Structure 1
Amino acid sequence: MKIAIVGAGVVGVSSAYELARAGHAVTVFERRSSVAEESSFAPGAVLGAGLLAPWAMPGAMAAPSLVGSGIRVRTRGATVAELRWLWNWRSAARAALRSSEPSPAMRALAKLAQFSQQCFLETTEALELDLERSQGALVLLQDEQGAAPLRAAVTALRDAGTALHEIGAEAARHIEPGLAEAERLTIALHLPQAEAANCRQFTSALRQAAQRLGVVFEFQAEVARLSPSSARMALHLQGETQPRPFDAAVLCTGAHTARLAEPLGLHLGLVALWGSSLTAPLREDAAAPQGVVIDVARQVTIARLGQRVRVAGGAELGQSDGTPHPATVRQLHEALDAWFPGSTQRAGMQLWRGARPMRPGGLPALGASGVPGLWLNLGHGGYGWSLASGCARLLSEMLSGQTCAWAASELAHFSAAKA
């Protein structure tokens, strides 16, 4: 098939690679000048933590921003639609937290996350990619009460085959010797197979691998609209008078989906929940994280990337001026200084803000859109980096007419109709 992909973030490039591996002729259209220039530039580095990553899905991680009165979602210039989305997310979180058992959607997402990490490992090994990465993750909890809301997520992850162990503070500090003794820590969840890796670095390397398979990348190519015709799809590019015909098109457009999807009758309920990261050069190895640390109270991840440390978190609605909220920046610094004081250098620190394109139920839209010739791989929220390899593999199988063995009963959760 002749397939167009719109968007060259990690999801779009992963989709192009998997489809080319399956023998399709693929062209990627990207409005920026290279891959991974927006949401995939410097997101949180965590892979394999599944539902225990911040903002995974409603009810998976309890936080004041979801269920309590302490508002941690910052709203600067948020629209009515964005505030309605937030209300729906919180309502879904409260409903999920009333049950100790994971919902079917939570189980499906846990399986997808596990599958995606396997696909990521297969790809990196097959291509012999040398990435900035580190092994193992700790979810830090200040007390037993903080662990209780996570029980459904833990059950779903274990049932999906994720290795996960509850350990005490002493064992946690043995795994991460740099953890500050002064910071309160009672128990932790250890995920030995989780890891951190550099999303932008992976996306750039995968682009090269995709090009070797024949994938064509067209940069600074803005798709103005889509028009279906006889089960095919035509792309209308800005500055071109004639449409480009394809057998199928795949939207991997994240937060920019509405302007292309809504004229075709697709209303996916996506909003951009903005997050931020700071990436700092290492100062002292012994004082720094060796793998991934997830601070549940602050909803922040701290990850080792080679000779750097990446701290990611925050939740903002509204575009504002494009810079992180000062309170979000303080939150990132506080988490790093609390757990790993003195581990990084201030000079050379990189601050970044990017969108998490999210649906109210927290699940991505993956598969046929319902519009002839149009397919979706978007709405992964804070999961885009973690789910990219698995979603791309499944998308390729579906477009190739194959049956996904484990996913046959799960893919309905990720349809365009499910918000």
Structure 2
Amino acid sequence: MKVIVMGAGVIGVTTAYYLAKAGAEVTVLDRQPGPGLETSYANAGELSYGMTSPWAAPGIPWKAVKWMFMKRRPFFIWPLISPPMWAWCAQMIRNCNADSYRVNKSRMVRISNYSRDVMPELVAETGITYDGREQGTLQLFRTAKQLKSSKADQEILAEFGSPYEVLDQDGCIQAEPALAQVREKFVGGLRLLADRTGDCRVFTMALAEKCAEMGVEFRYGQTIKSFVIENDRVAGVDTDIAGRVTGDAYVCALGSYGPRTLRPIGIKLPVYPVKGYSVTLPVIEETAAPQSTIMDETHKVAITRLGDRIRVAGTAEIAGYSKRLGPHATDTVRHVINDLFPGAGDLTRAEGWTGLRPMTPDGTPVLGPTRYPNLYLNTGHGTLGWTMACGSGRAVADIVLGRKPEINFDGLTAARYE
């Protein structure tokens, strides 16, 4: 079987790997000059198995309003004249209730846990390295109210079998010794023991090399212009450089750009880009630097150790497809690293970045079949693409090849929006 995978981010490349491993002839198309150059390029670096939750949760609409007026706000929405944007926001608000949250979280955890279980096997098979660590995530609370509110999260973590521990100030410092110099700035934390960390782009590049060794063809610099439909099947995709590319099956892993490509053939997905920011800076003082990932609950900023670098990522900005990196865009993430780990890294050499997270209004990605029998989806992972990549890539590959996937696909496909 010849399969065309559209997209060479971490989702597309993991899908290509599992297809090729099963014997498929795979071609990957991407408009960038190499793999992992868009949303996968400089994300938070978290493999957030314990923090797998939809953004649409009870109380979030009111919190979002308050966040927009913070000096260093974690959330902002631009008042664009955009019907798709406002329709997506309305759908998300409708999911901000306890019943929807529980259903959506259970679907997301199903993929996340599967990804957690299969990723070590992939790493062992390929031997790739990516600055990976297995020291968990420390959700850091600056106020007693935040610590008390985490009780609800603890109950959900226990329900889904995700190990955790509640820490006081001393416990947080034991987990992250560098926090000793700022102990007055937090009251405690929730440590998620199953979480891992690593550089998503390094992983994607290394896996793409392995895929190429397995015979996968990567065609970079190819923008997909349209699908060719014949007899109610996809007969090919037209690109701006190579012309028409054909296969037996097609997987759309185009992230935020998937809906634009799919809409002309009648597939309407509520996947919308939510802009995020990060800075990456070199470590200059080991004793002052973090060892794993710290999530600042107040600013919703993640600080992750990646080898001899620190990645600081956060902010959710609804601003359409704009990728502008303004002069003050990374002020919040810069403030947080300097506030919690002063002197750890060299901010004068920080590399700023912005990317578009492909978000669904219910948080669950869109996987598997479509109305066309040879077109499949692997998109809409939001902030959890790195976390869910191996699991969703393997499961979608099974579907494409006509094999029974190892996870239940109920509620994961585009059919839930019909």
Work out whether the TM-score is over 0.5: yes
Compute the displacement of 1:339 (Å).
1.2
Task: Quote the sequence identity (%).
Answer: 27
Compute the displacement of 1:104 (Å).
2.0
1:415 matched residue in structure 2: 413
The 8 Å contact of residues 282 and 349 in structure 2, kept in 1 or not, is answered as yes
C-alpha distance 239-176 of structure 1, shift in aligned 2 (>3 A): closer
Any idea what the Cα deviations from partners look like across 1:29-84, whole Å, max 9, x if unmatched?
1111111111111111000344367xx43128959653647454323463433244
With the length of structure 1 as denominator, give the TM-score of the two structures.
Answer: 0.90
With the length of structure 2 as denominator, give the TM-score of the two structures.
Answer: 0.90
2:139 matched residue in structure 1: 139
Report the 3-state secondary structure (helix = DSSP H, G, I; strand = E; otherwise coil) of the residue aligned with 1:133: coil
2:167 matched residue in structure 1: 167
- Mapping for residues 17-416 of structure 1, pairs under 5 Å: 17-51=17-51, 56-59=54-57, 66=64, 68=66, 70-71=68-69, 72=73, 73-76=75-78, 78-80=80-82, 81-93=84-96, 95-96=97-98, 103-134=102-133, 135-147=135-147, 149-151=149-151, 153-179=153-179, 180-230=181-231, 231-239=233-241, 243-318=244-319, 322-324=323-325, 328-405=329-406, 407-408=407-408, 411-416=409-414
One-letter amino acid of the counterpart of residue 234, structure 1: G
The 8 Å contact of residues 102 and 156 in structure 1, kept in 2 or not, is answered as no
Compute the displacement of 1:221 (Å).
1.3
Compute the displacement of 1:20 (Å).
0.6
Matched residues in 2 for 1:23 and 1:311: separation? 39
The 8 Å contact of residues 3 and 250 in structure 1, kept in 2 or not, is answered as yes
Compute the displacement of 1:186 (Å).
2.1
Compute the displacement of 1:191 (Å).
1.6
One-letter amino acid of the counterpart of residue 413, structure 1: G
Matched residues in 1 for 2:88 and 2:340: separation? 33
The 8 Å contact of residues 102 and 155 in structure 1, kept in 2 or not, is answered as no
Matched residues in 1 for 2:271 and 2:353: separation? 22
The 8 Å contact of residues 142 and 184 in structure 1, kept in 2 or not, is answered as yes
Compute the displacement of 1:213 (Å).
1.3
One-letter amino acid of the counterpart of residue 4, structure 2: A
Compute the displacement of 1:214 (Å).
1.1
C-alpha distance 244-36 of structure 1, shift in aligned 2 (>3 A): same
C-alpha distance 282-240 of structure 1, shift in aligned 2 (>3 A): closer
One-letter amino acid of the counterpart of residue 106, structure 1: K
Structure 2: unaligned runs, 5 residues or longer: none
One-letter amino acid of the counterpart of residue 323, structure 1: R
3-12 or 134-143: bigger deviation: 134-143
Matched residues in 2 for 1:150 and 1:328: separation? 29
Matched residues in 1 for 2:214 and 2:17: separation? 8
Matched residues in 2 for 1:63 and 1:294: separation? 21
C-alpha distance 140-373 of structure 1, shift in aligned 2 (>3 A): same
**Number of residue-to-residue matches in the alignment:** 409
Matched residues in 2 for 1:232 and 1:102: separation? 35
Matched residues in 2 for 1:147 and 1:266: separation? 43
The 8 Å contact of residues 61 and 150 in structure 1, kept in 2 or not, is answered as no
One-letter amino acid of the counterpart of residue 311, structure 1: V
The 8 Å contact of residues 5 and 252 in structure 2, kept in 1 or not, is answered as yes
The 8 Å contact of residues 183 and 339 in structure 1, kept in 2 or not, is answered as no
